[in-house]
C-alpha cells in the first residue's frame, strides 16, 4: 500500500517535469528553427534583404508597411482606448463601466479574422480598394482593449490618497486625472501601449482582407494598399517556390527578433503581464 | 457639480464609440448573413456542401464541415493544453528553483504573445512532417482499425496537426490563469495536507481540486482562442471539406474557410453571405465560450478568498 503511494508520487513528479518541459519546448524549437533556416537567408542576401523588394529577394516594403500600420493604428486606437480606460477607472461602480469592462474582455479574446472581415465590409468596399487605412483601423480595434485595460489598471494602482489630496487642493476630476494621476501612471500606460503595438505588429488575420499587400514597391499613401511582414510570410508559405519559402523564413526571423526585442524589455520591467 | 462632469464629457464619447463599434460589428454579421438564410435556410449550418457556380441558382453552401473542424481541432487543442498547463503551473509554483522561476514565467508569456504566423510557418514546415512521420504513419500502420486512426495520413495536413499546433499555442493562455490561481492557494493548506500524511501527489491533487473553477475558466478561454485562430490553422489543416472522426483526415475550420475563400467570394452571388454566416457562427460560439470562461473567472476571484 505504502509502496503503491510512493510509485504514484514518482509518476506524478515525472508528469509535472515532463509536462512543464513539453509546454515550453516548442518555443525553443521555434527559435532554433527560425535561426537555422532564417539566418543563412539573411546573411546571403545581406542588406538587400531589408531594403530590396520581393523580386530582389528583400522584404523592405513589408517592413515599412508594418511600421506604417503600427503607427496609424496607434494613432487611431490609442486615444480612444486611453479615454475608455480613464472612464472605467473613474467610474468603476457604474453599470456602464461594468458592461464596458466585459466588452473589453470579449474584445481581447475576439477572433481577429472577424475584425478583418468587418473592416473590409465597412471600409474596403466603400473605398473600392485595399488600404493602409483599412488595415490600420482593423488593427486599432484589436489594440484598443489592451490599452484600455492597462490604463485602468495602472491608474488603479495609484494610492487613493493622491486623488483625495488633489481634490482637497480644489482640482476637479478632469485636472486630477490629467495633471496628477496620468503622469504618475504613465509608465504602466506606456507598457500597455507597447504591448498592444507588439501584438498588432504580429497580426496577420485582420490584414488579410484590409491591407491588400504591397511588396514590389514601397508604400505610397494611406489610401493605397500596404504590405506587412506577417502578411507577407503567410502569402509566401502558400507559394510553391523554395525561394519564397527561404524569404519567408528570413522574414519570420526578423519578425521574431522585433517581437522579442520589444516584448522582453517590457516584460522584464514588470512583475506580471496579462496578454 | 457641473464642473466635476468635464471628465465624463470627454471620456463618454470614447466609451460610446467602442460600444457602437461592437454592436455595429454584430449588426454587419447578421445583416450580411440574411441573404444566405433566405436562399437556403438553416441548411447553411447543417449540410456539408460547397457548390460555387457562376449561375446563382445552382449555388449552394453548407458550413457543417467547417463548424465540425473548428470544434474538433479546438477540442484536441484543449485536451493537449489541459494537462500541459496544469503540469506547468504546478512546476512554476512548487518545483521551479527560485532562479529560473521568473524565466519560466517569461517564456510562457513570450509564447502567449508570439505572432501566430510564426507558429504557422513552424507548424507547416516542421511540425506537420514530424507528426506525419513519427505519429500518424506508425499509428496508421499498427492501429488503423481504430476509427480515430483509420484515415490514411497522405499529406500530414490534418485535424491532428491543427489540434496539436493550437494546443501548443493556447497552453500559455490557460497556464497564465491556472498558474495565478494555483499560486494564490496559501501554503497552510499544503502544510495541513502534509500533517495528515499526504504525499506530494495527494496534497497537490487537493489544491488542484480547490482551484477547479479557475481551471475550467482557463480551459474555456483557451478553447475560445483556439476556435478563433486563423492563419496558423489554415496552414496546417489541409483545407478540405470533410467531416470525419479520423484524426489524420484533412479538414476546414470556419476561420480558415473565411481566410481562403473570402478574397474571391464576391465573384459569386451568395458566397460572401455564406461566409458571413460562418463568421456569425464563429462570433456567437466565440462570444458565448469566452463569456462563460470570464464568468467562471470572475466568480472564482469574487468567491474564493483564502
A22 within some domain: no
Confidence of residue A274 (pLDDT cuts 50, 70, 90): very low
CB B245 within 8 A of CB B65: no
Which residue among B4, B5, B11 sits closest to A83, beta carbon to beta carbon?
B11
Alpha helices by DSSP H, chain B: 6-40, 43-46, 64-90, 98-113, 116-122, 128-131, 137-143, 159-183, 187-195, 200-210, 212-228, 231-236, 254-261, 271-303
What confidence score (pLDDT) does residue A275 get? 42
Q: Which residue out of B81, B201, B286, B294 would a mutagenesis test of the A interface target, given it has the greatest number of A Cβ atoms within 10 Å?
A: B201
Q: DSSP letters of A202-268?
A: T--GGGTTTTB---SS----TTS-B--HHHHHHHHHTSS-HHHHHHHHHHHHHHHHHHHHHHHHHHH
Which homologous superfamily does the CATH classification assign to the domain defined by B21-26+32-303?
Answer: MetI-like (1.10.3720.10)
Kindly report the CATH number assigned to the domain that includes residue A158.
1.10.3720.10
Residue B207 cell numbers, joined: 489544491
Residues constituting chain A: 275
In chain A, the residue whose alpha carbon lies closest to the alpha carbon of B32 is: A121
Residue A140 cell numbers, joined: 486599432
What confidence score (pLDDT) does residue B305 get? 63
Q: What's the angle, vertex CA A216, arms to CA A214 and CA A221, rounded to 5? A: 50
For residue A103, the chain B residues in CB contact (below 8 A) are: 18-19, 22
Q: What is the mean pLDDT of residues A89-96?
A: 87
A134 within some domain: yes
The residue among A186 and A273 whose pLDDT is bigger is: A186
Which residue among B6, B119, B122 sits closest to A172, beta carbon to beta carbon?
B6
Distance of CA A160 to the CA centre of its chain: 31
Tell if the CB–CB gap between A8 and B227 is shorter than 8 Å: no
Q: Which residue out of B4, B9, B25 would a mutagenesis test of the A interface target, given it has the greatest number of A Cβ atoms within 10 Å?
A: B25
The residue among A173 and B97 whose pLDDT is bigger is: B97
C-alpha–C-alpha distance, residues A83 and B12, integer Å: 8
A87 within some domain: yes
Nearest alpha-carbon partner for B259 in A146, A14, A204, A256 = A204
C-alpha–C-alpha distance, residues B57 and B38, integer Å: 13
CB B266 within 8 A of CB B272: yes
On whether any CB of chain A is under 8 Å from the CB of B123, the answer is no
Per-residue pLDDT reduced to its tens digit, A98-155: 889 889 988 988 899 999 999 999 999 999 999 999 999 999 999 999 999 999 989 9
Phi and psi, residue B51, nearest 5°? -115, 100
Bridge-partner residues for A212, per DSSP?
A226
Q: Which residues have CB under 8 Å from B146's CB, separation 6+?
A: none
Q: DSSP letters of B119-152?
A: HHHHIIIIIHHHHIIIIIHHHHHHHTTSGGG-S-
Cell 481540486 belongs to B209
What confidence score (pLDDT) does residue A187 get? 87
Query: Residue A156 — left, alpha, or beta (φ > 0 → left; ψ -120 to 50 → alpha)?
Result: alpha
C-alpha–C-alpha distance, residues A110 and A199, integer Å: 14
On whether any CB of chain A is under 8 Å from the CB of B24, the answer is yes
What confidence score (pLDDT) does residue A171 get? 86
A95 within some domain: yes
Q: Which residues have CB under 8 Å from B177's CB, separation 6+?
A: B214, B217, B218, B221, B297
CB A15 within 8 A of CB B87: yes
Per-residue pLDDT reduced to its tens digit, B280-293: 999 999 999 999 99
C-alpha–C-alpha distance, residues A37 and A42, integer Å: 9
CB B208 within 8 A of CB B255: no
A234 within some domain: yes
- DSSP reduced 3-state for B61: strand
On whether any CB of chain A is under 8 Å from the CB of B296, the answer is no
What confidence score (pLDDT) does residue A4 get? 85
* DSSP-derived secondary structure letter, B1: -
C-alpha–C-alpha distance, residues A77 and A89, integer Å: 18
- DSSP reduced 3-state for B62: coil
- Quote the domain boundaries for residue A101: 55-268
C-alpha–C-alpha distance, residues B175 and A105, integer Å: 18
Query: What is the percent of chain B with per-residue pLDDT over 70, rounded to a whole number?
Result: 97
What confidence score (pLDDT) does residue B1 get? 46
* DSSP-derived secondary structure letter, A92: T
Confidence of residue A170 (pLDDT cuts 50, 70, 90): confident
CB B255 within 8 A of CB A205: yes
Q: How far is A110 from chain B (nearest CA, A)?
A: 7
Dihedral in degrees, nearest 10, Cα atoms B275, B280, B283, B289: -110
Number of domains in chain A: 1
The residue among B58 and B172 whose pLDDT is bigger is: B172
> Residue A161: enclosing H or E segment and its boundaries?
helix A160-168
On whether any CB of chain B is under 8 Å from the CB of A270, the answer is no
Tell if the CB–CB gap between B262 and A110 is shorter than 8 Å: no
Residue B132 cell numbers, joined: 506525419
For the purposes of burial, counting CB atoms within 10 Å of the CB of B30, is it exposed (0-12), middle (13-18) or buried (19 or more)?
middle
Which residue among B6, B22, B231 sits closest to A234, beta carbon to beta carbon?
B231
Q: ipTM of the predicted structure?
A: 0.92
Phi and psi, residue B135, nearest 5°? -120, -55
Q: Is the pLDDT of residue A1 over 70?
A: no
- Residue numbers of A between 62 and 101 with CB closer than 8 Å to B: 79-84, 86-87, 90-91, 96, 99-100
* pLDDT, averaged across chain B: 91
For the purposes of burial, counting CB atoms within 10 Å of the CB of A57, is it exposed (0-12), middle (13-18) or buried (19 or more)?
middle
Q: What ranges do the domains of chain B cover? A: 21-26+32-303
A108 within some domain: yes
* pLDDT, averaged across chain A: 91
Q: Is the pLDDT of residue A273 over 80?
A: no
CB A84 within 8 A of CB B201: no
Tell if the CB–CB gap between B201 and A112 is shorter than 8 Å: no
On whether any CB of chain A is under 8 Å from the CB of B85, the answer is yes
A27 within some domain: no
What confidence score (pLDDT) does residue B111 get? 95
Residue B201 cell numbers, joined: 501527489
Per-residue pLDDT reduced to its tens digit, B254-303: 999 999 999 888 889 899 999 999 999 999 999 999 999 989 888 888 77
What confidence score (pLDDT) does residue A271 get? 57
Q: What is the mean pLDDT of residues B132-149?
A: 90
Q: Is the pLDDT of residue A2 over 90?
A: no
> Residue B251: enclosing H or E segment and its boundaries?
none
Confidence of residue B4 (pLDDT cuts 50, 70, 90): low
C-alpha–C-alpha distance, residues A147 and A151, integer Å: 6
Confidence of residue A90 (pLDDT cuts 50, 70, 90): confident
Q: What's the angle, vertex CA B70, arms to CA B66 and CA B71, rounded to 5? A: 120
What confidence score (pLDDT) does residue B265 get? 87
Confidence of residue A178 (pLDDT cuts 50, 70, 90): confident
Q: What is the mean pLDDT of residues B35-55?
A: 89
Nearest alpha-carbon partner for B265 in B30, B73, B35, B38 = B35
C-alpha–C-alpha distance, residues A97 and A89, integer Å: 8
A72 within some domain: yes
Amino acid at each position: 500500500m505504502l509502496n503503491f503511494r510512493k510509485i504514484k508520487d514518482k509518476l506524478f513528479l515525472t508528469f509535472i517535469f515532463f509536462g512543464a518541459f513539453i509546454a515550453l519546448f516548442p518555443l525553443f524549437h521555434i527559435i532554433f528553427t527560425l535561426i537555422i533556416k532564417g539566418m543563412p537567408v539573411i546573411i546571403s542576401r545581406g542588406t538587400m534583404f531589408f531594403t530590396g523588394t520581393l523580386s530582389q529577394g528583400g522584404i523592405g516594403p513589408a517592413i515599412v508597411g508594418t511600421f506604417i500600420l503600427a503607427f496609424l493604428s496607434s494613432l487611431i486606437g490609442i486615444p480612444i482606448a486611453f479615454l475608455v480606460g480613464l472612464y472605467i477607472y473613474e467610474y468603476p461602480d457604474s453599470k456602464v463601466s461594468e458592461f464596458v469592462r466585459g466588452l473589453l474582455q470579449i474584445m481581447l479574446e475576439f477572433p481577429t479574422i472577424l475584425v478583418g472581415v468587418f473592416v473590409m465590409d465597412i471600409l474596403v468596399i466603400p473605398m473600392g480598394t485595399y488600404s493602409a487605412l483599412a488595415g490600420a483601423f482593423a488593427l486599432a480595434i484589436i489594440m484598443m482593449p489592451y490599452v484600455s485595460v492597462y490604463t485602468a489598471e495602472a491608474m488603479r494602482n495609484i494610492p487613493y490618497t493622491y486623488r483625495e489630496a488633489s481634490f482637497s487642493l480644489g482640482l476637479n476630476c478632469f485636472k486630477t486625472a490629467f495633471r496628477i494621476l496620468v503622469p504618475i501612471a504613465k509608465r504602466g500606460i506606456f507598457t500597455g501601449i507597447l504591448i498592444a503595438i507588439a501584438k498588432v505588429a504580429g497580426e496577420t488575420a485582420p490584414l488579410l482582407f484590409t491591407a491588400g499587400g504591397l511588396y514590389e514597391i514601397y508604400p505610397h499613401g494611406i489610401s493605397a494598399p500596404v504590405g506587412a511582414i506577417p502578411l507577407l510570410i503567410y502569402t509566401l508559405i502558400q507559394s510553391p517556390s523554395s525561394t519564397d519559402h527561404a524569404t519567408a523564413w528570413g522574414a519570420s526571423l526578423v519578425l521574431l527578433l522585433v517581437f522579442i526585442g520589444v516584448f522582453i524589455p517590457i516584460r522584464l520591467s514588470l512583475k506580471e503581464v496579462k496578454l | 457639480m457641473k464642473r466635476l462632469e468635464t471628465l465624463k464629457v470627454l471620456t463618454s464619447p470614447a466609451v460610446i464609440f467602442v460600444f457602437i463599434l461592437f454592436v455595429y460589428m454584430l449588426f454587419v454579421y447578421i445583416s450580411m448573413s440574411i441573404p444566405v438564410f433566405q436562399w437556403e435556410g438553416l441548411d447553411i449550418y447543417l449540410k456539408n456542401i460547397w457548390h460555387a457556380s457562376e449561375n446563382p441558382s445552382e449555388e449552394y453552401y453548407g458550413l457543417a464541415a467547417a463548424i465540425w473542424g473548428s470544434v474538433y481541432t479546438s477540442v484536441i487543442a484543449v485536451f493537449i493544453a489541459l494537462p500541459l498547463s496544469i503540469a506547468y503551473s504546478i512546476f512554476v509554483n512548487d518545483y521551479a528553483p527560485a532562479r529560473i522561476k521568473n524565466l519560466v514565467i517569461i517564456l510562457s508569456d513570450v509564447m502567449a504573445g508570439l505572432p501566430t504566423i510564426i507558429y504557422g510557418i513552424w507548424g507547416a514546415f516542421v511540425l506537420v512532417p514530424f507528426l506525419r512521420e513519427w505519429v500518424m504513419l506508425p499509428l496508421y500502420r499498427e492501429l488503423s482499425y481504430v476509427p480515430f486512426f483509420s484515415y490514411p495520413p497522405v499529406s500530414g495536413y490534418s485535424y491532428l496537426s491543427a489540434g496539436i499546433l493550437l494546443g501548443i499555442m493556447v497552453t500559455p493562455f490557460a497556464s497564465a490563469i491556472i498558474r495565478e490561481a494555483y499560486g494564490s492557494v496559501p501554503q497552510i493548506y499544503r502544510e495541513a495536507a502534509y500533517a495528515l500524511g499526504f504525499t506530494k501527489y495527494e496534497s497537490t491533487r487537493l489544491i488542484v481540486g480547490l482551484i477547479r473553477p479557475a481551471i475550467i475558466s482557463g480551459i474555456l478561454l483557451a478553447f475560445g482562442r483556439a476556435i478563433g485562430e486563423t492563419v496558423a490553422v489554415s496552414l496546417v489543416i489541409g483545407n478540405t471539406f470533410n467531416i470525419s472522426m479520423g484524426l489524420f483526415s484533412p479538414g476546414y475550420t470556419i476561420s480558415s474557410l473565411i481566410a481562403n475563400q473570402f478574397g474571391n467570394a464576391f465573384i459569386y452571388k451568395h458566397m460572401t453571405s455564406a461566409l458571413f454566416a460562418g463568421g456569425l457562427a464563429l462570433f456567437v460560439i466565440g462570444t458565448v465560450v469566452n463569456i462563460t470562461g470570464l464568468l467562471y473567472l470572475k466568480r472564482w476571484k469574487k468567491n474564493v478568498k483564502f
